[in-house]
Amino acid sequence: HKKEMNVPYHQGSFMFFRLECFKKVGLFDERFFMYPEDIDITRRMHKWYRTMFVPSVTIVHAHRAASYKSKKMLKIHMVNMIKYFNKWGWIVDQERSAWNRKLLEELGYKK
């Protein structure tokens, strides 16, 4: 990815939020211990604000990939993903589909 884009879902190794945004959308959903909490909050933020990916900024994240190495963490990952999809939808998610279409159009992949 070489250009800035307004992406509705971000992985959360590094994020900036304005404090007033939390007043509108709330804090992190405490039902998720880890893994989809970053996707969930950026999705909620994206309804009201731009959620930008900025490729000119580089952050090094010491990603441990615990769910690839530990059955306990894999179970936590799976349980939390089930909670995420129960919250937002498993197969039919019109909001996600609309955002994905719009982003692809903005990037010039789809007309």
The span from the CA of 9 to the CA of 44, in Å, is 9
The 3-state DSSP class for residue 85 equals: helix
Residue 33: its pLDDT value, please? 74
What is the rounded average pLDDT for all residues in the chain? 86
Report pTM.
Answer: 0.80
- Does 27 score more than 90 pLDDT? yes
Q: What is the pLDDT of residues 35-71, one digit of tens each?
A: 888 899 999 999 999 999 888 988 877 767 767 678 8
CB-based burial label for 69 (10 Å; 0-12, 13-18, 19+): exposed
Residue 63: its pLDDT value, please? 64
